[in-house]
Amino acid sequence: MSTLKEQLEHFPYRIILGSASPRRQELLKSLGFEFRVSPVKADEDSWPRDLKAEEIPLWLAELKSNSYKEDLEEDEVLITSDTIVWCDDQVFNKPANFAEGKKMLEALSGKTHQVYTAVCLRSARKHVVFYDVANVTFKNLKGEEIEYYLTHFNPYDKAGGYGVQDWIGFTGIKKIEGSFYTVVGLPVRHLYEELLKF
């Protein structure tokens, strides 16, 4: 019976991470798998508007996978992922500007919201799609805290207009129920298990 070290070192697939996110790259590297990065371009605003909650990132993770331009070899597996913030039956994607970011953070202030991250694993022969969810509770954010954060940390590449791993996470988040890494953007425990099964 092979050891875990052997399983990781001799993983039967060459992993391709279809994401430019340095956070996802860092998390996947920390799992112990070798991989190469090949970012996928897809229209993240194209999801059908009747989708709700986890249905949105599941659809987008598959869209990103299907947008990969190259044919996958027999020994390759592509990982694509998407994260959304869901609050009061509304999706909060990446804010386009300061005003949008301010509006988002004001809406999240003092409330509990959900962060859904979905992942698609695809090879030449099969694919698997799964998601994880975490509940995040913000304290009541002061106006000057929101403005300071948006001005100095430019979180315009992050769902909901914030990064749990930076200043607003340190000072504004009261509680997280679920995986911290799902909020960062990759449900690493779930991904690890799915890769070993794949």
Amino acid at position 30, single letter: S
Nearest to 184 by CA among 32, 13, 43, 25: 25
Q: State yes or no: is 82 an active-site residue.
A: yes
Query: Scanning the structure block, which residue is given the tokens 């991904």?
Result: 191
* SS3 state of residue 147: helix
Please report, for the chain, how many H helices and E strands are present, in that order: 8, 7
Nearest to 146 by CA among 172, 165, 184, 183: 172
Strand-pair partners of 67: none
Strand-pair partners of 175: 137
Report how far residue 40's alpha carbon sits from residue 24's, in angstroms, rounded to the nearest whole number.
13
Report how far residue 188's alpha carbon sits from residue 53's, in angstroms, rounded to the nearest whole number.
20
Measured between alpha carbons, how far apart are the two ends of the chain, in Å? 18
The one catalytic residue in 43, 45, 82, 157 is 82
- Contact at 8 Å (CB) between 50 and 23? no
User: Which residues are identified as catalytic?
Assistant: 82
